[in-house]
Amino acid sequence: RAMEIVYLDSDIVVCVKPARVLSTDEPGGLPELLREALGNPKADIRTVHRLDRVVSGLMVLARNAKAASELSKQIRDGEFEKEYLAVVHGTPEEQGTLRDLLGRDKARRMTFVSDTPAKGIQEAVLHYQLLSRRDDLSKVRIQLETGRTHQIRVQFSSRGFPLVGERKYAEIE
């Protein structure tokens, strides 16, 4: 599988993560594919942020420990901006902020919306703008304020706007 590398220097590599590829460093994961593309099976490639397996998009990976540390600091400090495009079923408002309490059912590997604060429940916040509509589909631009597991999928699905192609959370409303 050919990797699309958008930018490369001694500290970082920016590439397009294909859909159905894990972001993490395991067999068949993005770091392994990058090592193959760079022709160096021992290259130091470190994941500092993730995209769900089903999602494709640009990712920035570190090429050494110092770069990984700096990128992680930028993410923690909110200096590293991530923007997402998604197509959802239905028509949300022109723009909005989605704010929920999310929990994680580790046994089912599912994230859920909670009505009440509790141990393990964390606030999830995202902002979106409606970009276009066609038939019963809407394209939205999303900025995450928090980065919870499956946050975008759960927050939109729980309001009746599941992402196109979504299977895991398509039924929650």
**pLDDT tens column, 6-28:** 999 999 999 999 999 999 999 99
Residue corresponding to tokens 């909670």: 114
Q: What is the pLDDT of residue 173?
A: 45
From the list 125, 15, 6, 147, the residue with the least C-alpha distance to 72 is: 147
Question: Region 65-84: what's the mean pLDDT?
Answer: 91
* Residue carrying structure tokens 């130091």: 44
Cβ-Cβ contacts under 8 Å for 10 (sequence gap 6 or more): 63, 64
11 is catalytic: no
pLDDT digits (tens, 9 = 90+) for 83-137: 999 999 999 999 999 999 999 999 998 999 999 999 999 999 999 999 999 999 9
The reported pLDDT for the residue numbered 64 is 98
Model confidence band, residue 147 (pLDDT cutoffs 50, 70, 90): confident
Higher-confidence residue of 114 and 52: namely 114
Band of pLDDT at residue 171, cut at 50, 70 and 90 = low
Stated pTM of the model = 0.81
CA–CA dist 115, 102 (Å, integer): 9
User: Greater confidence, 157 or 166?
Assistant: 157
Give the CA distances from residue 11 to residues 7, 14, 25, 49, 102, in Å, rounded to whole numbers and listed in that order.
Answer: 11, 10, 17, 15, 34
More confident residue, 97 or 54: 97
Neighbours of 77 (CB within 10 A): 8
Annotated active-site residue in 52, 77, 100, 135:
52
